[in-house]
Structure 1
Amino acid sequence: MNNLSLRLRFALSFCLLALPAGAIEIRSGADAVIELFTSQGCSRCPDADRLLAQLGEREEVIALAYHIDYWDYIGWEDTFALPANTELQKGYAQSWGKNRIYTPQMIINGQTAVVGSDAVEAENAIAQAVPLLPVNLRANGADAVVFSAPADETLSSAIVWVVPYRERAEVTIERGENSGQALSYTHIVVSRQAIGMWDPSEGAEITIPLEEVLGPNSDGAAVIVQEKDGALPGRILGASLFLR
């Protein structure tokens, strides 16, 4: 293995790499990954969507909006909903021994759940978030990003996920609880793909091809290292993101 196999421990810091015009922008070193489970058909969700947009502007935060589909039956089908998003939320609930899911819900670093519109609880959870693993990204030309994370045998093996997202979109809701409203959405998850494993004794290095991963509808992607509890999602060890 290359130098990633060296057992280095170093401080996790936020950095913004200035790249040539037309290249990608890399942001490394988030403290907190905030996953908002939301729906265009939920009357309580617009407040949470606005809060996520505000939090997502902060350097120490990676914000992701997972639109779910279980409110579609009330009259408006969420234009961004994915069944996989609902399954992810169910997975978190099962891992905590819960038998219900709801919107809006924020989950911070795969561990702490709060009502998605509760700014105070969200801030408290962010303040307590501690990244456990440095997750680094670097550009490899104009068409690829290289993910790397060092070894750390105090942690368990984890999955490396790439989560492409749209930065912003406007939607006019025509039916349901938010009928007649023109709403803004940010950090809209487009897909979630496992690209490999992180090994605690060896670390990992993975090249991510941009065109294949992002496709035409994404503005960037979060790269997340997350433990699993059997087949269920566990705590997030670290994350970074890139934009194009």
Structure 2
Amino acid sequence: MRALLLGFLLLLVQLTTPALADDRRIVVELFTSQGCSSCPKADRFITELAGRDDVIALALHVEYWDYLGWKDEFASEVHSLRQRGYAAAAHSRTIYTPQFIVQGGIINPESFRDGAFAGEVKRLVRLHAGRPEPVRLEVERSGGMLAITVTAGDDAVGPAVIHVVRYMPEQTIRIRGGENAGREITYSNIVTSWKALARWSGRDRMIVKAEAIGSDPIVVLVQADNHGPILAARELR
């Protein structure tokens, strides 16, 4: 009886204790497509990054290659619009896959020659990890709700947007058409939902709530306006 009571109390603690997000991590976004023959090597690299404790790796599948003969089931116009936003911020009209973004910054396209992007991405991760976060971000999950608290640091950062992202950890797809026809590819950290939750002034402390239904991991990030730098990010798995 005492053992049963202890077990019940432990379960009650697990159900009522809020889950706190992981410590600081660097965000690496990959714009990719199942219909892109140049993407599988980048997709494998995202799988490698997904296993690191200091990185939040996010694969955003785009739909603009679907016309080549294979419809990417993970693709979303939301992802393409985000990629176009990055291009506009860099005063460019060009979007392409694969494309890596590290902490909100576009990496030099020249690094994609001969598949050398991995070294450049890792270098930028180290660079950003060595810098202090300009804002404080706390994320707490209790039941089906998130409580997100953003606090300004010592330096002014300007207006920013709080984003909430959900992703699927892994799925293997057999591709039967398009440029990758006949290949079986495993994709990792596949973004399934990306929502701009709220705008933040960059000055006052702000607390916002968001739904957190389901078991898929959650990422909360604070990004400077107009697809600027990612100021802070946290992950709940």
1:56, 1:91 → 2: CA distance?
A: 24
Equivalent residues in 2 for 1:37-116, closer than 5 Å:
37-114=31-108
* Range moving further from structure 2, 159-168 or 144-153: 144-153
1:107, 1:114 → 2: CA distance?
A: 10
In structure 2, what is the equivalent of residue 177 of structure 1? 179
What secondary structure sits across from 1:149 in the alignment?
strand
Percent sequence identity is: 32
* Range moving further from structure 2, 55-64 or 149-158: 149-158
Deviations 1:41-80 (A, max 9, x none): 1111111111111112212111111000111111111110
Name the aligned partner's letter for residue 123 of structure 1. K
Gaps of 5+ in 2: 1-12
TM-score calculated relative to the size of structure 1: 0.81
Cα contact 1:24–1:242 (8 A) shared by 2: no
Larger gyration radius, structure 1 or structure 2 = 2
Between the two proteins, the alignment pairs up a number of residues equal to 216
In structure 2, what is the equivalent of residue 3 of structure 1? none
TM-score calculated relative to the size of structure 2: 0.84
Name the aligned partner's letter for residue 33 of structure 1. V
In structure 1, what is the equivalent of residue 168 of structure 2? 166
What secondary structure sits across from 1:79 in the alignment?
coil
2:88, 2:196 → 1: CA distance?
A: 20
1:123, 1:184 → 2: CA distance?
A: 21
Deviation of 1:22 after TM superposition, in Å, equals: 10
Q: Which has the higher helix share?
A: 2
Cα contact 2:162–2:222 (8 A) shared by 1: yes
Gaps of 5+ in 1: 1-18
Cα contact 2:144–2:212 (8 A) shared by 1: yes
Deviation of 1:120 after TM superposition, in Å, equals: 0.6
Name the aligned partner's letter for residue 205 of structure 1. I
What secondary structure sits across from 1:219 in the alignment?
coil
Name the aligned partner's letter for residue 48 of structure 1. A
1:22, 1:205 → 2: CA distance?
A: 21
In structure 2, what is the equivalent of residue 144 of structure 1? 145
Cα contact 1:112–1:125 (8 A) shared by 2: no
Cα contact 2:86–2:106 (8 A) shared by 1: no
Name the aligned partner's letter for residue 156 of structure 1. G
Cα contact 1:38–1:45 (8 A) shared by 2: yes
